[in-house]
Amino acid sequence: MVDFNVFRSIGFTLLVLVSLYFVFQALYQLYQQMRRGKPSPERMGNYGERLKSILVYVFGQKRLLKHPAGLGHFVIFYAFIAINIVAAEVFLRAYFPNFSLSFLGAGYDFILWLEDWMIFGVLVALSLGLARRYTNSVRMEGSRGLRRDAIIIIYAVAIHAIFSVLLEAVELALGNHPWIVDRGHQLGDNALGPTVAIAFAKWFLSLNVDLDVLENLLWWGHSFSVFLFLIYIFGTQIRVPQFYPSKHFHIVSAPFNVFFRNLKPSGRLSVIDFEDESVEEYGVSKIEDFTWKQMLDLYSCTGCGRCQEVCPAYISGQPLSPKSLILDLRENLLEVATFVHNHPGEEPHYKHLAGEVIPKETIWACTTCNACQTACPLFIEHIDKIIDMRREQTMMQSEFPAGLDKMFTNVERNSNPWGVSKSDRDLWAEGLGVKTMKEHPDADLLFWVGCAGSFDERAKKVSTALVKILQAAGIDFAILGKEEKCTGDPVRRLGNEFLAQELITENVQLLNSYNVKEIITFCPHCFNTLANEFPDFGGVYRVIHATDYIAKLLRTGQLPLKKGDPITLTYHDSCYLGRHNGIYSSPREIIQFLDGVEFKEMSMSKEVAMCCGAGGGRMWFEQDVGGEQINRNRVAMAAETGAEYLGVSCPFCTAMLEDGIKNTGTDLKVIDLLELVVSRLDV
């Protein structure tokens, strides 16, 4: 009888060395590419929270499990771990023939049992995944060979799982498996163990085959299934022009991407240091202008499409797929990396990102609503890349959608996008008995009115409503009046960082001169900028959105309410109130306090609520690129509830949704929750 063990150690060592070559070459090249990116110091520190992210989002797969396909991935993930624990035991026996994990006692029996049934589970999950891809229910557009790659990986994992259970079965049939030798079990026992493998072992014993030869073939098949899998994942990372990284390279990159995720509020944009004389270009024009973390994002994307499933622009047929954006940037990064690898010392030819790599209409289609980033299981950050490209287009190329030049001029001259004179900023408050900070610098609370609340006729009604609510509750407050300026939110998200920083700096100086500590505002865009972005410029204040403040007043009984006419109401979550800042419960709590209001939730609400279409500066320009208008789609969703009123908590949402109603012919009426509260004040 041939002693097959003679060949295993040498052959297995060669297989391991070849595989490790591909692994370390790929990792080294990835490291070299990351080095060419710009620094990202904010990704360091707070390591306890970062480790917690690994536990919750990598091992706990919290975001994945929110998606219908998430359970299948969860099964595959843990089955893969269980299979490879046992595989490690098998491979170590190439060098240490008597090695086993049987010293774990009953724990070893449980591992074998778990592995066995997880193999069954993973084969079911893989079959479903394969069926979804062959029936084209999974859209894999956006990168060359991505669908093919997914299918290859499915087959590779399935083959690995099948070889694992068959190898275990033949070892059981031969009687040399540790479950028999070390644990003292027999095939006929009812003991916990590899149930499926035992069934196959009995079948093998019924066949007229040489089990030693079969065991050797299965051992090598199992080994090759593991290491060829590694070579495929990492080998495609090595710079050969026709090869692209396997989507399963995220096995390596994703944990790092989650670990180095943004721990700051999602609505907080990066700051450009305009005093740094070494900076010659603002924004991003070529792929290596991105930071190393932004590059890591590109390698971590699996093309799953969860981002585009919730993107309002994509849903409405506009020219933006967050998935394609990331994958197209990755392909450009790969082209540059290929050139750098194959032509050391030579400067690559860079494609201009806006226009040559990413269509210009794509970067202006984004509403910065954060739906894509909230849905992404791997915390890929789409918005910062879009804003960086907008910055380059706006500040370096002066290329932006028609109409924005007028809006920028309005903000420069009059500190508001409408272009109304600064001296008219507080006209809305005449006759309401509202004091300014100049008149009452010791006020407990500053009401930040915002540009919409000061100049937009519809939003002025909400400003008045908030004043009446604060007065009814006996709150000591004041406004800035003519001294208030735009927070810079719209121009900043349109790429005009220089103008935004001027506005923010001037506002911070004013607020600090009054020693302001607490601010209330009803505009989510003002709220986000004041709370999350002003601190970068020395303005640290306690900023409260009006819905949070009013919900507290209602809880503490400081607002007397009366019963109003019965109405049915649905509610639209503002992106900058909800996804960017996590305020979902307060608006709904307010609705619950209002007697006679029957609440009807929309199907897409809270974290998956659809944007109104105004964010990211989109309120200030029209983009004629086809598709449906986002606000019309959102109005249609609200109309499906059968509600009479569409509740909002944002002046931009009010404008967009009322416009959508005009163009869809529904009977919905838009009402801000503050207006609804005022209508039921018992004063």
Q: Based on the number of CB atoms within 10 Å of its own CB, is 157 exposed (0-12), middle (13-18) or buried (19 or more)?
A: buried
In a domain, 250, yes or no: no
74 and 195 share one domain: yes
Strand 542-545 to strand 567-571: parallel, antiparallel, or no bridges (unpaired)?
Answer: unpaired
535 and 572 share one domain: no
pLDDT at 297 over 60: yes
605 and 568 share one domain: yes
Cα 100 to Cα 183: distance, rounded to the nearest angstrom: 11
In a domain, 259, yes or no: no
158 and 185 share one domain: yes
Total-model pTM: 0.88
442 and 481 share one domain: yes
pLDDT digits (tens, 9 = 90+) for 195-234: 788 888 888 888 888 888 888 888 888 888 888 877 777 7
Contact 341, 334 (CB under 8 A): no
| Structural domain for 627, as ranges | 560-678
304 and 360 share one domain: yes
Q: What is the pLDDT of residue 239?
A: 47
pLDDT at 461 over 60: yes
In a domain, 422, yes or no: yes
Contact 371, 605 (CB under 8 A): no
Residue 615's alpha-carbon distances to 365, 377, 403, 546, 606, in angstroms, are 10, 23, 16, 19, 16
List the CATH number of the domain containing 546.
Answer: 3.40.50.1860
Q: Which residues contact 441 (CB under 8 A, 6 or more apart)?
A: 478, 514, 515
In a domain, 47, yes or no: no
The token pair at 213 is 């030869």
384 and 524 share one domain: no
In a domain, 526, yes or no: yes
pLDDT digits (tens, 9 = 90+) for 137-168: 444 444 445 566 677 777 778 888 888 888 88
76 and 196 share one domain: yes
540 and 575 share one domain: no
339 and 461 share one domain: no
Task: Beginning with the edge strand found earlier in the chain, give each strand of the sheet holding 567-571 in spatial order.
Answer: 597-599, 567-571, 645-648, 669-672
Cα 174 to Cα 26: distance, rounded to the nearest angstrom: 40
The last residue of one of the domains, among 554, 572, 588, is 554
90 and 192 share one domain: yes
Q: How many domains does the chain have?
A: 4
Residue 439's alpha-carbon distances to 290, 429, 477, 511, 514, in angstroms, are 48, 14, 11, 15, 11
- Chain-wide mean pLDDT for the chain? 87
Please provide residue 598's backbone torsions phi and psi, each rounded to the nearest 5 degrees: -95, 120
Which has more confidence, 347 or 527?
Answer: 527
The last residue of one of the domains, among 368, 396, 424, is 396
Contact 644, 624 (CB under 8 A): no
In a domain, 519, yes or no: yes
pLDDT digits (tens, 9 = 90+) for 544-562: 999 999 999 999 999 989 8
List the CATH number of the domain containing 587.
Answer: 3.40.50
pLDDT digits (tens, 9 = 90+) for 237-251: 554 443 445 666 777
Cα 515 to Cα 498: distance, rounded to the nearest angstrom: 26
Q: What is the pLDDT of residue 1?
A: 42
Contact 633, 610 (CB under 8 A): yes
List the CATH number of the domain containing 337.
Answer: 1.10.1060
In a domain, 27, yes or no: yes
Q: What is the pLDDT of residue 137?
A: 46
In a domain, 273, yes or no: no
Instruction: Give the SS3 label for residue 596.
Output: coil
The last residue of one of the domains, among 554, 588, 623, is 554
Cα 266 to Cα 532: distance, rounded to the nearest angstrom: 9
Q: Which residue has the tokens 């490879």?
A: 84
Q: Find the helix packing angle between 383-391 and 322-342, rounded to 10°.
A: 70
506 and 548 share one domain: yes
